[in-house]
Structure 1
């Protein structure tokens, strides 16, 4: 069990989600519009907030712009109790907004704006305080911050190497946003980060397949997993799967009506990290992760994660 008084350091992207439900049409062709709304967003930021709601001491490292969206990021983190001592503000860059278009099945269709000069892609080692790992026991990040060949890619990889040298626990959510085109440099950066990660999380076939497109994604996991590593495949309503060198563990999902899948994977990560830090087994940690994600998809937005009391109450009903 890890020291409960130490921090989880979450590294990566923070922005704003603008949630827009696509109109539903009745038999007469009349459109029914729901009111759009604004929430904090970003794959890494979602995980940080979800961890804080689970009473985990959480600190965030990343870059935002000095703009209206950046100010909302700061306000959201403060309200949620996420430590922002390591948050970097760059006057020349933009905090991103994600237009999250939600269809009638609750599936998301994200569009990021603006497309240029994005703050979260900038993360220089010399901007980061020397005490970045002080009181930290777990480090987590997301592959979305490494998609482009920017300073964030190299710095996150460097920080993961440092964390492992210090004996910290590391987790990496693939969070791949790739087209069919294969980028060898990006692929190599992801593989190297995996090598310095204790836990590698991803959305089943959609993300693990990219690591080795010529074979089945589960075979890829079994080929990549090394001693003391665990690969976690999120599989929606089917639950999740953990693969270790000598063991494969499955955990069933929860029968929940899906309202909105926005941020479900990010929130799953928080539930898993929480349970691991509590000293729970891998099987029990998968259960907590599935439950945390299930709670969230029954509600609106990527910040619909439960408090620890809400999570325990949810679990007690199943």
Structure 2
């Protein structure tokens, strides 16, 4: 009888909001029916990691309201270890999604002054980060507020002191900060991480005047060991100090791309923690991202390992036989 592989604990922290999306194509001004759920980059990753067989933990602040209760309940129901700080002085943030046209998606955020934006270093208890093998953070939380940015900075220092790997997804949101402000803040966090994810424009935001690969190479000279360049349907490239490894993407029928980057990150990190080589990490990441795009929702279609294997075996054929 073989012993199952040990589960690796990943810790992540950030804001998760209530999410309301329209069922039909068209503007929200004419929508008569909305679907209520939740969404947040860090909890999306935690849920996806849990489905891939890893022990994941999420920490965040929610309002003392029904939407905050829903956030906690749904993330916990997906097998994630949840540490929620209930804030009676601020509401849970809200995200709205509409499909103006069949091929487009628009996201509206109502998060100014939200409970999640009030995250601070004091919210992260002693030992919570130190028990993790890997700490995952995103640039979204870094731009929510000064206290949230400080929480990420302290979290990185604690993780590094404990010998944990630090992963950082740039995940720039222009609605939270202008490029001139966001660039230096995100660069500081990225340079202190081990693995950094981002699209070409996001890496270029860190180092204006460079293209995606050149920006990745410059980042690696500042500390990280790998930079993962996400290109959507065109696949992805991991830039290492020894060179670059590219992996093709998958052509699928796209329904909703929001959350695909988070599924991609989870696929990559899960394979990394399993000791897989770069090619295998990129392949799983591309599969997870592609599968997430095929249904509505930010995390609902994040696959299990079995589903990843089925998708790979079928070469992307939607009919599983």
- TM-score, normalised with respect to structure 2: 0.89
In structure 2, the residue matched to 1:104 is: 101
After superposition, the C-alpha distances for 1:258-292 in whole angstroms (9 at most, x for unaligned) are 11111111111111111111111111101000000
Show the 5 A alignment for 1:251-266: 251-266=247-262
CA distance in structure 1 between the partners assigned to 2:225 and 2:276 by the alignment:
16
Shift of 1:55: 1.6
Shift of 1:105: 4.2
Q: Which moved more, 1:267-276 or 1:223-232?
A: 223-232
Q: Secondary structure at the match of 2:81?
A: coil
Shift of 1:4: 3.1
Is 1:216 matched with 2:218? no
Is the 8 Å Cα contact of residues 18 and 37 (structure 2) preserved in structure 1?
yes
Shift of 1:255: 1.7
Shift of 1:251: 0.5
Is the 8 Å Cα contact of residues 130 and 158 (structure 2) preserved in structure 1?
no
In structure 1, the residue matched to 2:263 is: 267
Q: Which residue, out of 123, 142, 157, partners 1:146?
A: 142
CA distance in structure 1 between the partners assigned to 2:72 and 2:224 by the alignment:
36
After superposition, the C-alpha distances for 1:37-79 in whole angstroms (9 at most, x for unaligned) are 1222011111111111112101011211111211110110121
Aligned residues: 307
Show the 5 A alignment for 1:1-318: 4-20=6-22, 23=25, 35-84=33-82, 86-113=83-110, 115-178=111-174, 181-184=178-181, 186-205=182-201, 207-226=202-221, 229-303=225-299, 304-318=301-315
Shift of 1:203: 2.1
Is the 8 Å Cα contact of residues 203 and 265 (structure 1) preserved in structure 2?
no
After superposition, the C-alpha distances for 1:238-269 in whole angstroms (9 at most, x for unaligned) are 01111111210111001211111111111111
CA distance in structure 2 between the partners assigned to 1:107 and 1:4 by the alignment:
41
Report which structure shows greater RCO (CA 8 Å, sep ≥6). 1
After superposition, the C-alpha distances for 1:103-125 in whole angstroms (9 at most, x for unaligned) are 43443211011x43112222222
Unmatched 5+ stretches in structure 1: 26-31
CA distance in structure 1 between the partners assigned to 2:33 and 2:123 by the alignment:
40
Q: Secondary structure at the match of 2:20?
A: strand
Shift of 1:200: 0.5
Q: CA 1:222–1:187 in 2, change beyond 3 Å: closer, same or farther?
A: same
Q: Secondary structure at the match of 2:21?
A: strand
Q: Which moved more, 1:261-270 or 1:115-124?
A: 115-124
Q: Secondary structure at the match of 1:136?
A: coil
CA distance in structure 1 between the partners assigned to 2:178 and 2:86 by the alignment:
33
CA distance in structure 2 between the partners assigned to 1:106 and 1:39 by the alignment:
22
CA distance in structure 1 between the partners assigned to 2:73 and 2:184 by the alignment:
36
Shift of 1:35: 4.5
Q: CA 1:57–1:159 in 2, change beyond 3 Å: closer, same or farther?
A: same
Shift of 1:22: 5.8
Is the 8 Å Cα contact of residues 21 and 103 (structure 1) preserved in structure 2?
no
Shift of 1:34: 8.6
After superposition, the C-alpha distances for 1:215-255 in whole angstroms (9 at most, x for unaligned) are 32322111111366111111111011111112101110012
